[in-house]
A and B are shown apart, each in its own frame.
Chain A
């Protein structure tokens, strides 16, 4: 499935990398665990003796089993794995976080969260509630804040998310690659209307957007 935005594309490939490592490693570990249990399990008849056979442990004996070398080796292996994962995380983050503020093509939009909805203010000063229209293939820079409580702005399909916090402005950016309708939703519990704090993102072809935006600017208000 093609990702509808570059941020989502990068996120998806990073996610797949993590999924692969997580699945492979846990599968190996759980397989070893499963093997040990099946291999060393005593027949259930031996339960009848109350398990009074001679165990290896004894109260007050210094632990003799295991070696620090194994632990160090394991830590190093785990550490190396995380170095790899972290490096790719950081490069993904660099892309997702680098706000193209100075890009002359970028469209700057102010987002104000409130109980319960979203307001979008365009450079022409016009404010629209509940719908965000943007042109495709254009970097959109969002300045996100809240008028009342803590909300979280998110376009799940694009993997864009930022907290909307009163008295604070947080930046986020995205670029839509394909025209269409996407869901903007709040991701932090903000009261009884939280579930319905939804707005629509309308990614439009640039010409259509220009036509709409021109009309918006002309409207009196």
Chain B
């Protein structure tokens, strides 16, 4: 990476970097490390299962190994590995200098690493870590049945990971929607960028939806609420919420790998993708369908047969778009000029394995066959063919494909092909025989010889060793390449006509495009100097495209409008904030001293971050320069806020759904739901509502004021919003204190649990809003806003409106009905 003349210490660069390529490499190294950890865990339990009556792992170690393997592969390996490539290449593929929010990008990475470390550390907590399987079924996940502290820690680690993801998601969406090069339409992008965008939509709705049950679980385990022990909530509440997340999650895992496979097939056969537009439509349809199939994971729970038939049909429908995508990939090769390089072979492997996995998936969609398959090794075989076979194999294709771009060096084709051969042989010996074990339950650590499962399990374990050893070849190849690999030019694969990253040096300089701004014209790709663009290329809509600052092209240091020179864009706060967040999580389980340290560091780093902004110390001009459809009228910060709130809806949605679920169930269990006014004073609730609405109004007035450059109006509005918001928070605090004094606590009953959790999370949002107001006020008093520059105020006004809106749902549910 190119840096400014006064080179900072490399350690500092890696810790404080906000450059998307550095962040991508951090993601790559970390996710590969977690891949090895989770893979070794799998080898331990494959050893235990290799023969009947085996004594290698005890039941509790086995259960922990299975759980950690699943959680790590799903949450800390596959998506982050895809995120590594997304970070590295997507800004280049769309023609941008960096991500829209470089510091948030670094923050996503450090939160990801912190969450992974917290999750791994839970292994060493007394009593071990979570041992309930990655699905974390209730009520096995409650303190009563799994008292170990490591379980709670794992829940918190996942929450931390989810927060990392939602930050990254908002960032990627703004980046892809707003930072594309002039003339770069969405449909011109390679499949990887397009599928990644679809994946972001899935993430934005699925991950916060997973946060909701996890928050309830952690509340159950740490605060003593009763969501998953009470009859009104319990097992089925968890099931619905988990699987609503769980099925979109499968596509989150698979889509990036499949996208890479498609791009690689096209590049190495020198042909256009077959029916690219149909592929894009199909993947969008599949993404949509993934939200309406979750009940197929629950066919055995006694759900109404009619409902099962509906979900049977929606599930089978999903194979249609995927079938179309696979056939389009295959037709892409027709009359191609195929170069069977290592990336091509892995792309091919991804398609082959995904087709087999898709075929076995059709069996699972059948409500009748599912009676046999559910909870057996058939299912294990199926989802490893899709997720590992389709997803991870595609990501490995990507690793080989972009390796020369990221390092500037080529790897050994011979070793790569050897890796491929052993990988495919090992994979199929490992996972195919699992389909033959369609009577053997998953997650048993022991079976006796009478079952007859021994020989097949032995074959599977052999396969796992072969499969694992193929990765050793991969790592040898990569390390060798770093040391001795021949240097490559811009375009070692002949992809320059396919996507932008093959038109820049390997590795690319700090701001990616040394030849100028990439512009897509009717003649194809040209590079223009910023001043040439400034004269104005217009979009089809006729508006002016380029009004903003020049791109720095001196490969590193950056000159601002004030003429100051800055080093590479570094910021310590993402790193420090993540340390605070990790300590806070560990402190929640292991005691107050750690918790306090964590909170202090956390708050200090938020202040430091805000201070950087107020003083404008961190300044990287990542402005939108080109194609922005469909968001050409919104700026980065508000658009990021819109996406963030979109995700927040997915957090509150399941919480309210949980409310209706337990309330409806209380009719069957005979639990007497408190009458309006019985517990929560309707009058006080109404007063809070009015105050909060007024506060929302004040925030809007502040925005209107600054739009008219009225500084006093801005300050008065923000101050009023702050005082009124604080009042609501204080009233809520008093209400909680009063209820506690009366003995109405978190665990009194299910109604109390849902009341405290929803109002508590809402209160946390109020508190966050108040902190934002303090920052805005500080900046406003320094004169940081004017009629043109007030996007922070705008973003806050949207946020505050959302918080008020959530209250408008909360108020009637607890005070009126």
Binding site for B on A (CB under 8 A): 7, 10-11, 14-15, 18, 22-23, 25-26, 29-30, 32-33, 36-37, 40-42, 44, 46-47, 50-68, 70-71, 74-75, 78-79, 82, 85-86, 89-90, 92-93, 96-97, 115, 148-150, 152, 154, 156-157, 159-163, 165-171, 183, 185-196
B708 in the interface, Cβ–Cβ < 8 Å?
Answer: no
Given contacts A59-B188, A160-B371, 16 further A-B contacts (CB under 8 A): A18-B369, A29-B355, A42-B340, A50-B492, A57-B497, A59-B524, A70-B275, A86-B313, A115-B145, A161-B374, A163-B300, A187-B376, A187-B442, A189-B443, A190-B140, A195-B441
Docked-complex contact A149 and B447, CB < 8 angstroms = no
B339 in the interface, Cβ–Cβ < 8 Å?
Answer: yes
Docked-complex contact B63 and A192, CB < 8 angstroms = yes
With beta carbons under 8 angstroms apart, the residue of B139, B145, B276, B500 that contacts A59 is B500
With beta carbons under 8 angstroms apart, the residue of B188, B272, B275, B355 that contacts A30 is B355
- Name the CB-closest residue of A to B328: A66
Which residues of chain B are near A191, meaning CB under 8 Å?
63, 131, 140, 145-146
A and B contact pairs by CB, cutoff 8 A, 9 listed: A37-B340, A37-B348, A71-B328, A82-B317, A165-B302, A166-B139, A187-B376, A188-B137, A189-B443
Docked-complex contact A40 and B276, CB < 8 angstroms = no
Docked-complex contact B302 and A162, CB < 8 angstroms = yes
Docked-complex contact A163 and B439, CB < 8 angstroms = no
Which residues of chain B are near A168, meaning CB under 8 Å?
235-236, 302
Docked-complex contact A187 and B374, CB < 8 angstroms = yes
A-contacting residues, B497-538, CB 8 Å:
497-500, 520-522, 524-525
Complex CA distance for A92 and B85, rounded to whole angstroms: 46
With beta carbons under 8 angstroms apart, the residue of A25, A57, A97, A193 that contacts B272 is A57
- Name the CB-closest residue of B to A195: B444
Chain A to chain B: the 8 pairs with minimum beta-carbon distance, closest first: A66-B275, A51-B494, A187-B375, A195-B444, A170-B302, A60-B520, A167-B231, A192-B59
Docked-complex contact A18 and B366, CB < 8 angstroms = yes
B642 in the interface, Cβ–Cβ < 8 Å?
Answer: no
With known contacts A65-B275, A79-B320, A85-B362, A42–B338 Cβ distance under 8 A? yes
B326 in the interface, Cβ–Cβ < 8 Å?
Answer: yes
- Name the CB-closest residue of B to A167: B231
With known contacts A26-B356, A40-B333, A97-B305, A51–B275 Cβ distance under 8 A? no
Docked-complex contact B443 and A162, CB < 8 angstroms = no
With beta carbons under 8 angstroms apart, the residue of B137, B271, B305, B313 that contacts A149 is B137
With beta carbons under 8 angstroms apart, the residue of B63, B491, B524 that contacts A189 is B63
Name the distance in Å between A184's Cβ and chain B's nearest Cβ: 12
Stretch in contact with the other chain, from B24-32, B262-270, B628-636, B754-762: B262-270
With beta carbons under 8 angstroms apart, the residue of A41, A54, A86, A159 that contacts B340 is A41
Docked-complex contact A89 and B145, CB < 8 angstroms = no
Interface residues contributed by chain B, number (CB under 8 Å): 107
B731 in the interface, Cβ–Cβ < 8 Å?
Answer: no
Name the distance in Å between A11's Cβ and chain B's nearest Cβ: 6
Complex CA distance for A18 and B324, rounded to whole angstroms: 20
Docked-complex contact A66 and B330, CB < 8 angstroms = no
Which residues of chain A are near B439, meaning CB under 8 Å?
156-157
- Name the CB-closest residue of A to B348: A37
Name the distance in Å between B321's Cβ and chain A's nearest Cβ: 8
Complex CA distance for A29 and B494, rounded to whole angstroms: 28
Which residues of chain B are near A82, meaning CB under 8 Å?
316-317, 319-320, 362
Which residues of chain A are near B270, meaning CB under 8 Å?
51, 53-57
Docked-complex contact B187 and A63, CB < 8 angstroms = yes
Name the distance in Å between B714's Cβ and chain A's nearest Cβ: 43
Docked-complex contact A30 and B352, CB < 8 angstroms = yes
Interface residues as binary, B460-494 with A (CB distance below 8 Å gives 1, 0 otherwise): 00000000000000000000000000000001111
B336 in the interface, Cβ–Cβ < 8 Å?
Answer: yes
Which residues of chain B are near A149, meaning CB under 8 Å?
137, 139-140, 145, 235
With known contacts A29-B326, A71-B278, A166–B132 Cβ distance under 8 A? no
Complex CA distance for A7 and B441, rounded to whole angstroms: 19
With beta carbons under 8 angstroms apart, the residue of A74, A165, A194 that contacts B235 is A165
Which residues of chain A are near B442, meaning CB under 8 Å?
187, 189
Complex CA distance for A61 and B444, rounded to whole angstroms: 54
Which residues of chain B are near A85, meaning CB under 8 Å?
316, 362, 366
Docked-complex contact A63 and B372, CB < 8 angstroms = no
Complex CA distance for A176 and B48, rounded to whole angstroms: 34
Docked-complex contact A15 and B500, CB < 8 angstroms = no
Complex CA distance for A170 and B303, rounded to whole angstroms: 9
Docked-complex contact A189 and B133, CB < 8 angstroms = yes
Which residues of chain B are near A58, meaning CB under 8 Å?
497, 524
* Central interface residue in A18, A33, A55, by most chain B CB within 10 Å: A55
Name the distance in Å between A41's Cβ and chain B's nearest Cβ: 5
Complex CA distance for A41 and B324, rounded to whole angstroms: 24
Name the distance in Å between B619's Cβ and chain A's nearest Cβ: 31
Complex CA distance for A62 and B19, rounded to whole angstroms: 32
Name the distance in Å between A15's Cβ and chain B's nearest Cβ: 6
Complex CA distance for A92 and B646, rounded to whole angstroms: 42
Name the distance in Å between A111's Cβ and chain B's nearest Cβ: 13
With beta carbons under 8 angstroms apart, the residue of B362, B451, B497 that contacts A55 is B497
